[in-house]
Chains A and B, each alone.
Chain A
């Protein structure tokens, strides 16, 4: 079946360090992946996305890496700041499953001052 999972429920990092949040998926037909950030009591906020024809994409302070061979997705946050503290979700969708985004459980990122 389809599943999207995150390796760690909570990640604690020191302010200024780099953070790496990992995600595994099982549907090899998935061709579009998104990372969302959710702060307490708010809706998820789009961070960055990547399509399956790419293996890396960079944004402002964030990089997403996609390894289709092992069905692994990661989000790297450079110079982590207190404002980065939130729950991070990865989500996947297959072209054949238009509109049905499948979300992982989420990883809580805690930034220590």
Chain B
């Protein structure tokens, strides 16, 4: 998976519970991203971080939170405010150089389901 590790592979959330998805990369990439994928759909951006201690909301950030305390780690918390959390969550990283965009490397994903 290109040096990006997501865990767990499967996660179940009870109503009203916050859960945290882990994403670690050893590619020394500056930028990290979280995407959500619903069945038969494309990927939608939740949050992204271009550098340590900084992150920005994506298109569907409501009900989610992130942190970027270390370069290699970008955990995603799905809060109880996210009323429809069941989806496949993908973490990615990239290393933009000289202002140019570069391809994203993806992890293997976490399938989150509601109990």
**Residues of A in contact with B (beta carbons under 8 Å apart):** 4, 31-32, 34, 36, 41-46, 49, 89, 93, 95, 98-101, 103-106
Contact = CB atoms under 8 A, between A and B. Distances in A.
A73 to B, nearest CB: 14
A36 to B, nearest CB: 8
Contacts of B48: 99-100
Nearest to A105: B42
Nearest to B41: A105
Contact of A103 (B4, B6, B43, B100): B43
Contacts, number: 64
B41 A46 contact: no
B97 to A, nearest CB: 11
B75 interface: no
B1 A43 contact: yes
A101 B45 contact: yes
A67 B107 CA distance: 31
A31 to B, nearest CB: 8
21 contacts: A4-B42, A34-B103, A41-B109, A43-B1, A43-B92, A44-B43, A44-B90, A44-B106, A46-B104, A89-B42, A95-B99, A95-B100, A98-B101, A99-B31, A99-B50, A100-B58, A101-B101, A104-B42, A105-B41, A106-B40, A106-B42
For the complex, would chain B's binding face be called helix, strand, loop or mixed by DSSP majority?
strand
Interface residues of B, number: 30
A99 B33 contact: yes
B100 to A, nearest CB: 8
Given A43-B1, A44-B43, A100-B45, A95 B109 contact: no
Given A103-B43, A105-B42, A98 B99 contact: yes
Contact of A101 (B99, B104, B109, B111): B104
A99 B33 CA distance: 8
A46 B42 contact: no
Contacts of B4: 43
B94 interface: yes
